[in-house]
Structure 1
Amino acid sequence: MTAHTVEYIRYRIPEQQSAEFLAAYTRAATHLAAAPQCVDYELTRCEEDLEHYVLRITWKSTEDHLEGFRKSASFPPFFAEIRPYVENIEEMRHYGPTPVRGTGAATPTLYDWAGGEEAFSRLTEAFYDKVLKDDLLAPLFADLPAEHAAHVALWLGEVFGGPARYSQTQGGHGHMVAKHFGRNITEAQRRRWVNLIQDAADEAGLPTDAEFRSAFLAYVEWGTRLALYFSGPDAKPPAEQPVPKWNWGAAPPYQG
């Protein structure tokens, strides 16, 4: 995935102009929302000094901003709204990502929310018990080694934010992908896999809240569709890459 560019624009707006400034950006934001070069945006206000605002805009790239958006039909009406505040800008620069990033402990990982190692072990044991009794999937796993369920538990645990035990003991992403080469999985088998692992999640007592299950199913759909592709005759081995890390989707964990 291409790294995006984040533009930060820092404003100092006199208190008496704050209402008009916010109204202007509310109108201008409709043009950002409609711009295909814009990923997302957010205007924040300093809590310690109410005259300071920071606008964060994530662009697909710096070029998409400067050569795309600024030369598009969306820019003139956008700029017309914010023109009165240009002189109040204290900084306007583009920033690229660094390797330093992560999620704080205030937001639990999906791994911890699910119940950790024991939960994923229960999940895979329940799942493969169902798989081996299923007429559609059993042929795919006829030569299933005894440790397979435990290895998949390590994989899922790492994917959902747990320890990197699969990478450390099994070889990481490339090793998992290679297990699907030549399997010729069908769409019907993929769909059955998705259905059975959801049933297994119920049986294993994984959380049933909407936020967790939507994130869980999102990975299951993504992962099984990759497995379907890599099992086919036209599959090309991927470049070396780490195990994917899955997190909460649009909805964070509900902790009412």
Structure 2
Amino acid sequence: MILETAYLQVKRGLEHEFEEAFHKASTIISSKNGYISHELQRCIEVKGNYLLLVRWETIEDHMIGFRQSDEYQEWKRLLHHFYDPFPTVEHFERVAIEGRIPCDQVMK
């Protein structure tokens, strides 16, 4: 499993619109091959900051299967105008997991 992370800074005053658009865009990403799950986290301390976490089977599922698809153009149309600056996207692989994490929260 690969974890895609994107730190999103949404333009001031557009947070509600962004969240609505993200809900619509979620159907796009969740339909792609290799997609496992995703979540959007809203920052408590800084209004307009979000963290997007997407789990993919492989990095190619994200970089080729999603990013090079026709559906990605619709994803961009729905979401990219909200960001300033444009987000940095990175990919991670699990090294370890510890702690008291509810079973339904752990991705295997």
TM interval, short-chain normalised: 0.7 to 0.9
CA deviations over 1:174-213 (Å, ceiling 9, x no partner)? xxxxxxxxxxxxxxxxxxxxxxxxxxxxxxxxxxxxxxxx
**Greater RCO, CA 8 A, separation 6+:** 2
Q: Which has the higher strand share?
A: 2
Tell me the equivalent position of 2:11: 14
Pick closer, same or farther for the CA change 1:86–1:71 going to 2, 3 Å: same
| AA partner of residue 97 (structure 1) | R
Separation in 2, partners of 1:47, 1:89: 20
Shift of 1:81: 0.7
Highest CA radius of gyration, 1 or 2?
Answer: 1
Taking structure 1 as the reference length, the TM-score comes to: 0.38
Tell me the equivalent position of 1:63: 60
Instruction: Give unpaired runs (5+ residues) of structure 1.
Output: 108-247, 251-256
Separation in 2, partners of 1:34, 1:86: 23
Identity of aligned residues (%): 21
Size of the alignment, in residue pairs? 105
The aligned runs of 1:38-117 (5 Å cut-off) are 38-98=35-95, 100-104=96-100, 107=102
Tell me the equivalent position of 1:25: 22
Q: Is the 8 A contact 1:10 1:89 kept in 2?
A: no
Shift of 1:86: 4.3
Q: In structure 2, the residue corresponding to 1:49 is in which secondary structure?
A: coil
Shift of 1:102: 2.2
Instruction: Give unpaired runs (5+ residues) of structure 2.
Output: none
| AA partner of residue 99 (structure 2) | T
Separation in 2, partners of 1:74, 1:91: 20
* Poorly superposed stretches of 4+, deviation over 4 Å: none
